[in-house]
Structure 1
Amino acid sequence: MATVLLVRHGRTTANANGLLAGRAAGVRLDATGRAQAEATARRLGAVPLVAVVTSPLERCRQTARAVVDHQEADPALVVERGITECDYGDWQGRTLRDLAKEPLWSVVQRQPSAAAFPGGESMAAMQARSVEAVRRHDAALEARHGAGAVWAAVAHGDIIKAVLADALGMHLDLFQRIAVGPASVSIVRYGPHRPEVVATNTESGDLSWLRAAPPAGDAPVGGGAGAAGS
């Protein structure tokens, strides 16, 4: 089965200033974010990626370009609107401190499946289209490159949390329990029986073990021996 590395973009000035950037144009990585993206790209350089799929927003494209630049080969760089940031509608561009005073804030925190942003999309719709996009690319890349294929999807915090919640079999109302930091890497495999979440929110560590042959589709009873070199 193929392996997808879910990569969040590096830090932006909006992140640092507590602004909800949403889909606003011109939101780029700051100096810290560029360093984070470079560090993550070096980590992923140990793994031959067959493709890098990115949200169309600039901060993700910058991060994705860093990942491609650190690959020995030249993996395809694909823009996928299905993993773009949530459409926060009227919330876009406002400070998190201000938004925390809104009645909807508590819904987003406690029952995100019922949250719909005024003038934007619902969190349930965000999850549905992002999961569909990731699973679609995963199936296509495995069909094209084989079960050992490894690829990266560069997206946003809420998008990656929503994809991880689906893979974990968690209700969307529980997805705020998942942390996804800037430039972090989470690892998912979509097996024949169920998704397998291999890692979440990692910021360091050797990934060269992903070069090895893909594991069997069945979960090892008792936990197994783990990946060699991990």
Structure 2
Amino acid sequence: MATVLLVRHGRTTANATGLLAGRTAGVLLDQIGRDQAAVTGRRLAAVPLVGVVSSPLERCRETAQQIIDLQAGTVPTPIEDELSECDYGDWQGRTLTELSQEKLWSVVQTQPSAVTFPNGEAMAAMQARSVAAIRRHDAAFEATHGHNAVWVAVSHGDIIKSILADALGMHLDLFQRINVGPASVSIVRYGSTRPTVHATNTDAGDLSWLALGNAPADAPVGGGAGHPAPNASRA
């Protein structure tokens, strides 16, 4: 089975000021965000990636480039519109402080499956299109590169949370229990019977074990032996 690394973009100028950027053009990483993306790029440098798929928005493409620049070889870098940010409609461009006073805010927090943003997208539709895109790319990379293929999808907080909720078998109404920080890495493998989630929201730690492949097809009863200690394969 292939492995997808779900990477959120680094911090942006909008994140830093509490603005809901949505699909606004020209929202870039700030210096902290660039530093975060650089750390993620270094974490993934030891993992030979077969592809880096990105949302079309600038903040994701900037983050993806930090990862691509530290790969040893040429990496395909397709843009995937279905991994773009949720269309927040009339909420886009407003501050989170202001939005928290809206009646819809509490529904977003407790029953997101019932939310359609005014003149925007339903959160259920957001999840459906992003999960479908991830599964489609995952199947294609595995078909081309084999079951040990590792690839990256660079996207947005709510998108990644919705993908993780699906992989965990959680109802969308529970996805606010998941946190996905800037430039974090979450790890999912899609098997023939179910997905398995190997990590969520990591912003540090050795990932070189991903280069070894050989993930078990079935869940190891009792938890299994885990992956080797950091850098053990190079000792």
> Aligning the two structures, in what range does the TM-score lie when normalised by the shorter sequence?
over 0.9
Per the alignment, residue 233 of structure 2 pairs with none
Quick one: distance in 2 between partners of 1:89 and 1:107? 16
- The Cα shift of 1:192 comes to 1.2
Supply the AA of the counterpart residue of 1:176: Q
Aligned CA-pair RMSD: 0.6
- Worse-matched range after superposition: 167-176 or 218-227: 218-227
Q: Deviations over 1:137-173 (max 9, x none)?
A: 0000000000000000000000000000000000000
**Superposed displacement of residue 120, structure 1:** 0.4
Measure the CA separation in 1 of the matches of 2:59 and 2:211: 28
Measure the CA separation in 2 of the matches of 1:4 and 1:212: 15
**Deviation of the 1:17 alpha carbon:** 0.2
Q: Does 1:17 align with 2:1?
A: no
Paired residue for 1:118? Answer: 118
What is the TM-score normalised by the length of structure 1? 0.99
**Identity of paired residues, percent?**
70
Q: Within 2, Cα distance between the matches of 1:229 and 1:192? A: 28
Q: What residue number does 2:3 align with?
A: 3
Distance 1:122 1:69 in 2: 35
Equivalent runs, 1:131-150 vs 2, <5 Å: 131-150=131-150
Task: Give the match for residue 187 of structure 1.
Answer: 187
One-letter amino acid matched to 1:221: V
Give the deviation of 1:229 after TM superposition.
Answer: 2.2
Distance in 2 between the 1:195 and 1:80 partners? 21
- What residue in structure 2 maps to residue 224 of structure 1? 224
The one-letter code matched in structure 2 to 1:113 is S
Return 111-120 or 213-222, whichever deviates more. Answer: 213-222
* Secondary structure, aligned partner of 1:79: coil
Given the two structures, how large is their TM-score scaled by the length of structure 2?
0.97
Query: Post-superposition shift, 1:214?
Result: 2.3
Deviation at 1:213, TM superposition (A): 2.6
Matches within 5 A, 1:88-103: 88-103=88-103
Deviation at 1:216, TM superposition (A): 1.9
Is this contact kept in 2: 1:2–1:214, CA < 8 A?
A: no
Runs of 4+ in 1 over 3 A off after TM superposition: none
Instruction: Give the deviation of 1:228 after TM superposition.
Output: 1.4
State yes or no: 1:207 paired with 2:210.
no
Letter in 2 for 1:49: L
2:52 alignment partner, SS class: strand
148-157 or 206-215: bigger deviation? 206-215
1:131 partner amino acid: V
Q: Which residue of structure 2 aligns with residue 63 of structure 1?
A: 63
Once the two structures are TM-superposed, the CA of residue 55 in structure 1 deviates from its matched residue by 0.1
Partner of 1:159: 159
Aligned residue for 1:48, secondary structure, equals coil
- What whole-Å deviation, never above 9, does each CA across 1:151-201 have from its counterpart, x for those lacking one? 000000000000000000000000000000000000000011110000000
> In the TM superposition, what whole-angstrom CA distance separates every residue of 1:203-222 from its partner, at most 9, and x where no partner exists?
00000000113212111111
| Matches of 1:199 and 1:213, distance apart in 2 | 16
Q: After superposition, give the CA deviation of every residue in 1:46-103 in whole Å (9 maximum; x if it has no partner).
A: 1000000000000000000111001011110110001000000000000000000000
Deviation digits for residues 107-150 of structure 1, max 9, x if unmatched? 00000000100010000000000000000000000000000000
- Asked whether 1:41 is paired with 2:41, we answer yes
Aligned mates of 1:86, 1:214 — CA distance in 2: 35
Secondary structure of the 1:77 match is coil
CA distance, structure 2, for counterparts of residue 213 and residue 116 of structure 1: 40
Q: Which runs of 5+ in 1 are unaligned?
A: none
For 1:200 and 1:188, the matched residues in 2 are separated by 9
Paired residue secondary structure (1:33): helix
Letter in structure 2 aligned against 1:163: I
What SS does the corresponding residue of 2:221 show, helix, strand or coil?
coil
